[in-house]
Structures are given as structure tokens and as C-alpha cells.
Chains A and B, each alone.
Chain A
Amino acid sequence: MKALLHIAVRSAWNRRGTLALVGLSIALATLLLLSLERMRTDIRQSFSQSVSGTDLIVGARTGAVQLMLYSVFHIGGATNNVRMASIEAIARHPAVSWIVPISLGDSHHGYPVLGTTPEYFTRFLYGDRQPLVLAQGRAFAGTLDGLYDAVLGAEVADALGYKLGQPITLTHGAGGPMSPEHADKPFTVVGILARTGTPVDRTVHVGLAAIEAIHLDWTGGAPMPGMHIAPGDARKFDLAPKQVTAALVGLKSRVAVFRVQRFVAEFDGEPLLAVLPGVALDELWDVVGIGERALLGMSALVAVVSLAGLVAVVLAGLNERRRELAVLRAVGAGPRHVLALLATEGALVTLVGALAGALAAAIGVALAGPWVQSRFGIALQLSAPTGTQWALLGAVLLAGMLASLVPGWRAYRLSLADGLSPRN
């Protein structure tokens, strides 16, 4: 057997050009399968770490997934706002411990701006019930003096190179070349949060009153012509918010969660929705799962195609190797040795290809990880393969070995028919 392995390696090395191409396609298929699985795992990890300690999220009536997406992940927008009066009514419910309203809609250099109350910094938890920590400076106080204070997520500060005291202006809407600026009312950075690996890192936090202040002289998404209120003068107006986008709700006891959820759903004043973050995430996975399975299916197909390429290449080369097989037969190799030789060759190419693909996947995570983290807020982890990754790698290897039996079997038949003199 050792003799055969030696011969198989030397023979394959002799045809390394062609086999390297096949190995490359197997490597690419493996890379695709493994990185897809890595992204899938880490995206789920990132998403499920994004919010904890919040029992309910309340917003205007919409889909549970949509409410979750815009309130926590700042993806997409709300179709309707929630009246502040409704939020106050929910806050008065006996089972409710705390409620933190949030207001979205503006941005800064593409990063979403979140208007909220100072309580946000103590109530919002992520990961395993970890609180937000200020790396530098302080949270905004919610007073009129600190009306234009802003607290940055770690990624915003890093990417834009902002320090404490940096003046920033907000953009109306999600940003883009045509979006009007709130240039007349600049903010000052007073705090920078420690990195969390959640969407908080990519968020600019300001007071709810500040959101009101910068929109005082605006109507219908644009500055009112002929009207201008100076930043200082804004403090003279009533800055209590009339509407917010959503609210995070904490309960005195989790037992009451469905009672409060029903209370919100049946609220008289306006159509509202309350979702449990965990349940909404599960719904999200159901939606995302379809796409994931489609992608995984496509990658599996790519793997099948590259293995078919392997079989085709080894089979095509077989005819020119019939002399080689006859020589081996003459020195005492049996047809089963010939089968083993061809199958070993295919398995070797698969092994080398799959290992190269796994290596490339690890290198890819190491190189692209920081970029993905900053661009999408998803922490790709360079860690030992997950169970599913092992299974995928094993499946590629097993499929490669099984596929290699095809040319092996053909060679077996040929060497039986040929004996020592290949016949055409």
C-alpha cells in the first residue's frame, strides 16, 4: 500500500499542471462552503448578541421582523411613528418597570442618529446582559445646557477619527448627496462608547429634545423657507417630543410579558405592536434561512461541479496511461491495485484542494474580518472550525473519494480487459 501511495504521488506530480487546476476548483468550492458557513454562524451570533435585557420593543403596527430591524439594527425605516402620549400610557402600566423611547431618521456620514433619553445608557444591554460602557467622556445629561451633546459608538469615532469636543452636524434622512444638512445646529461630541460588536458601535446618540430642536424650523423633510431659529433660541421652545419611532420596554417581571404585549396590541389611541426580541429574531432566521439554504445549495452544487471536473480530468487522462497500468500489472500489481492507484490520486487531489480551501477561508476571515466588522458590524471570528464546518469539509473529502472511485473502477475494468497489452 505504501508502494502504491508513493507511485500515486509521483504519478500525480508528473501531471501536476492539469491536476492543480482541478485542485484549485475544489479549493474554491471548499472556500465558498466554509466562508458561507462562517458568515452564517457569525451573523447569527452578532444579531443575537445585539440586544438583551429588553423585554419588549414597541412601535407602530408593522411586521415583527421589520420593527426589530429598524429599532435595533437600524436597517430600513419605520412606516409610522408612535405618539409620545401612547408611550407615556404604556409606561403607566403596572407591570412596566422602565421605558426608553428612541427616535430615528437622521444620519451622520451614513451612520444612523438615534435620539433617546439618558436612561438609554443604563437600560440598554447587549450580549450576555452587558451594559454600555463609556470609553471616553460622559453620556449626555438630557438638560437644556447639553442640548447639542452627542455620544458616538466606537466604530463611528474610529472610522471618522473623532475625539471628544469634535463638532458634528447631522444630515436629514439616511444621508446621500441630495440630503439636506442640519448645518445650522452643530453638535459636540461629549462621549465615546467602548466597542460592543453590535449596531450601537455604528450609531450617533443624541437627546430626544435635540431631535426636536433641529426640526423646529423644518417641515415636510426640508427647512421652512424664510424661517430660521438660531441654535440658542431653540431652547426657548417646547422641546418635548410629540412622536418617537419606537420604545424599548423593561418589565418588573418577565411573567407579565404576554399581558403587556396584548395591552400594547389592543391599545385604543393608535395601532401599535410589541414584540419580544428573541421571538422576532427567530422569525428573522426563518426568513433569512431560506436565502441561506439557497446559498448553501448553490455552493454544494459548485462543489459537485468541481468534483465532476476531477472525475472528467482523471478519466480523460486514463487512456494515455494504459501503458503505465500494463507496466504495473507486469511487475505484479493486481487490478485492485490499479483501482487503488486511481482512487488515491483523486482522493489526494481532493485532500490538497480541500485543505487549500480551508486555509484560504481562514486567511480570508483574517484579512476581511476588520473590514466586515466596520462596514456591517459583524465580528467574523478566526477560530477553530465549527461543527458544521467540519461536517462540510468532511463531506467534500468523502464526496471526492467516492467520485475518485469512478476513474478507479474504469481503470480496474481496463486493466482486466487489457492484461499486459493495451488494445484499442
Chain B
Amino acid sequence: MISIRDLRFRWPRAAADCVAIDALDIAAGQAVFLYGPSGCGKSTLLGLLAGVLVPQAGHVSVLGQDWAALGASRRDAARADHVGYIFQQFNLLPYLSVLDNVLLPCRFSALRARRAPAGAAQALLARVALPEALWAQPAAELSVGQQQRVAAARALIGTPEVVIADEPTSALDAALRDGFMDLLLGATRAAGSTLVFVSHDERLAERFDVQLSLPEVNRAAAR
């Protein structure tokens, strides 16, 4: 599903590589836990996986397609079609309703819109246990925990093949965190999507199929 070969990425004006991975493969349907301390290139790697960043050397392929082989706008379209993304926080557009936020990927991807039949957004919101009374509310009125659950529903709408989560639990307390993990993993498995989950919180690791230590994978971080 995801394949990385000889990847080298350096930010503009940076002195050294930020990400250097020789080989990394993730199979379809797997839930992968990537852990490591802050500053080991986690967010940069996720940007590379999502096709927002393009490496200076090497290949990052998703669904067998090398991101670098696509033009910028084809990459954006492919990301809209195949990737769901969850941020650490501030996932939602505060001026849109909860439901509109969930449906946002369908506005940019005809494929996702086709795969999300009427009622799919509502079903996902119910699945992540967001009270129905909040669905029509502006996203700005939700608590942080509720916002993260809406973000999970958005990442899963139209069943993208890959879901990428960038420390989605770091803003949540322990009780909320466990509930969120249950919902995210359950929903991802139900959709059959591959999950790449990044966190520095190793207590979450046991819930995943595969655990990877990013400092070990990323030679640029290990040095």
C-alpha cells in the first residue's frame, strides 16, 4: 500500500536532511504506529506520505503510484481521492457546520463523494459517538475532544485507502484519549483503510498491528 525507497528530504535553506529512509513498506489494511520524540521528522514524513511535500531524492509511493511522478495538481487530486488526514488539533474550519466539515473531502474529490452515499457522514458521526444535536452546529462550538472525533469522521468519509493521523490524541486527556483510539481504530478497520498513526506516546503502541520507531527508520534523525 505504502512504499518508501531511498527517500531523502531536506527543507529549503536547511543544512541537513530532515528525513532519510532507505526502505519502508506498509501493507494494505494495516494499522501502523510510528513513534519517536519531537523533532525526529514525524510531521515532515507525513507530509511526504500525503504528497504535500516532494523528496529531493528517492520514491514515496501510495497505492503503487509514486507521488513525485505526478504534477502538483494531480498530487492534490490524488490526495483528495485516497488520503484522509487528521491533525494534532485545529482540524476543523470553524465557520462550517460539523456536517459540512465532515463532507469537506467530498467537495474536492468526486471519487470520495461517490463512495460516500447519502447518510454516510451521519453514520460516521454516529460511529464516532458525536451527539446528533451537534451535527448542525458550527465546528467552533465543539470541545477539543469532539473536534478530534469529527476530524476522524472526516478522514474516513468516502473510505480513502490511507488514513494518516499526526498525534491526534496529544490534546486529549487520558479518558478521552482511550475513547478516541477505540473509535478511530474501530472505524478504520470497519472501512478497511490503512492507518499510519504518529505519536510520541508509546502507551498507545500495543493497540496497533505494526510498531515502528521513527529514529530507527529515519537515519537523518538517528545521526
Whether B43 is near chain A, meaning CB under 8 Å from some CB there, is yes
In the assembled complex, the Cα of A324 lies from the Cα of B47 at a distance in Å of 16
Contact A419 B85, beta carbon cutoff 8 Å: no
CB distance from A22 to the nearest CB of B (A): 18
**Is A332 an interface position by the 8 A CB rule?**
yes
Q: A332-B77, A332-B81 are in contact. Are A10 and B108 (CB under 8 A)?
A: no
Smallest beta-carbon distance A412→chain B, Å: 11
With A13-B95, A327-B92 already in contact, the answer to whether A333 and B108 are too (CB < 8 A) is yes
Contacts A327-B92, A331-B107, A332-B77 supplied; 6 other A-B pairs, CB < 8 Å: A13-B95, A327-B104, A332-B108, A333-B80, A419-B53, A420-B47
A223 → chain B closest CB, angstroms: 79
Chain A CB within 8 A of B109 CB: yes
Kindly state the interface size class of chain A when it binds its partner: 20 to 34
Chain B residues with a Cβ closer than 8 Å to the other chain, count: 32
Q: Bound complex: CA of A417 vs CA of B94, how far in Å?
A: 23
State whether the Cβ of B59 lies closer than 8 Å to any Cβ in chain A: no
Evaluate contact between B94 and A334: CB separation under 8 angstroms: no
- Against B, the Cβ 8 Å flags (1 = close, 0 = not) of A396-424 are 00000000000000000000010111000
Pick from B52, B85, B95, B108: contact of A11, CB under 8 Å: B95
From the candidates A7, A14, A327, A419, name the one contacting B47 in the complex (CB within 8 A): A419
Q: Which residues of A contact B95 (CB under 8 A)?
A: 10-11, 13-14
Q: Show the binding face of A for B, using Cβ within 8 Å.
A: 3, 6-7, 10-11, 13-14, 323-324, 326-337, 417, 419-421
Contact with A along B64-84 (1 / 0, CB 8 A): 000000001101110111000
Q: Which listed residue (B72, B90, B109) contacts A323, Cβ 8 A?
A: B90
Q: Which of B12, B81, B90, B93 has the most CB of A within 10 A?
A: B93
A3 touches B108 (CB 8 A): yes
Q: Which residues of A contact B194 (CB under 8 A)?
A: none
**B39-53 interface with A by 8 A CB criterion:** 43-44, 46-47, 50, 52-53
Q: What is the bound-complex CA distance between A60 and B154, given in angstroms?
A: 87
By a CB distance below 8 angstroms, the chain A residues around B43 are 420-421
* 8 A Cβ contacts from B123-163 to A: 154
Would you call B116 an interface residue if the criterion is a C-beta within 8 Å of the partner chain's C-beta atoms?
no
The residue on A at minimum CB distance from B72 is A334
Q: How far is the CB of B114 from chain A (nearest CB, A)?
A: 14
- Known A-B contacts A419-B47, A420-B50; the reply to A330 vs B94 at CB < 8 A is no
Q: B168 near A: Cβ within 8 Å?
A: no
B87 and A420: CB pair below 8 A?
yes
Contact of A419 with B81 in the complex, beta carbons under 8 Å: no
Tell me if B52 and A329 are in contact (CB < 8 A): yes
Known contacts A327-B87, A331-B105; A14 and B76 CB within 8 A of each other: no
Q: How far is the CA of A324 from the CA of B44 in the complex (A)?
A: 18
Residues of B within 8 A of A327 (CB): 87, 90-93, 104
Among B72, B94, B107, the residue within 8 A (CB) of A3 is B107
